Amino acid sequence: MTSELHTWIAFLRAINLGANRKFPKQAITAAVVRAGGTEVETYINTGNVRFDHPVGDRAEMEAILEEAFAADRFFEVPTICTTPAELTVIAADAAAVGAGHDGRQFVFLCKEPSDSSARDALVARAGDSERVYVIGRAVHLLTDSFHDTKISNAVVERHIATSTNRNLNVIRTLVDRWA
């Protein structure tokens, strides 16, 4: 008897940013396999990984990966999982909110959805040339410059939940490849 496999796309937060948080793609793949993942693929060295796993609960899958990554790297690697269908919806939402915007667009993927007061507080933090939309577990940022934005992972985490961000091109590419 075979167990049903679930396809996950995991986003690792804060890796490969400095000398002390290195986590190469090959090591990510090996850690996911040790955690029970199969058909593992990665995309660029920012912590994007697709795999199949018997666990179907998102929070449980995140915890399994975080434990495996910590055992491999000896530092915490916050991880946000989505299904391919969820990522497709996030990309469609990004296209809708970004229609007509000619600047940069980023998506913060959060572990948990926000409540309305947290959403309102985060939106209020945006700078004059920024727009922020919170939809489900995603925060969509439209800005002229990511380096000058008032919305960062730390700000999103203070208002909503653990998060990691990707630019819209990465989100679209992952949907094209894996969803």
Distance between alpha carbon 21 and the CA centroid of its chain, in Å? 17
Enclosing H/E stretch for 61:
helix 58-73
How far apart are alpha carbons 161 and 55 in whole angstroms?
A: 22
**What is the rounded distance in angstroms from the CA atom of residue 48 to the CA atom of residue 27?**
13
Is 119 in contact with 151 (CB distance < 8 Å)?
no
The CATH number of residue 41's host domain is 3.30.70.1280
Residue 152 neighbours by CB under 8 Å, 6+ apart: none
Quick one: 104 and 62 in the same domain?
no
- Residues 78 and 88 reside in one and the same domain: no
For residue 176, give the amino acid letter: D
Q: What percent of the chain has pLDDT over 70?
A: 99
The per-residue pLDDT for range 101-122, each reduced to its tens digit, is 989 999 999 999 999 999 999 9
* Whether residue 14 sits in one domain with residue 63: yes
Residues 94 and 68 in one domain: no
The predicted model scores a pTM of 0.94
> What is the residue range of 44's domain?
6-82
The last residue of a domain, from among 82, 115, 150:
82
Assigned domain for 93 exists: yes
Q: What does the pLDDT read at residue 18?
A: 74
Answer yes or no: do 92 and 63 share one domain: no
Q: What is the mean pLDDT of residues 48-61?
A: 98
Position with higher pLDDT, 179 vs 110: 110
pLDDT surpassing 90 at residue 13: yes
Residues in the chain: 179
Residue 1 has pLDDT above 90, yes or no: no
Residues 78, 89 share a domain: no
For residues 80 and 166, the answer to whether their CB atoms sit within 8 Å is no
Reference 107, options 117, 119, 95, 118; nearest CA is 95
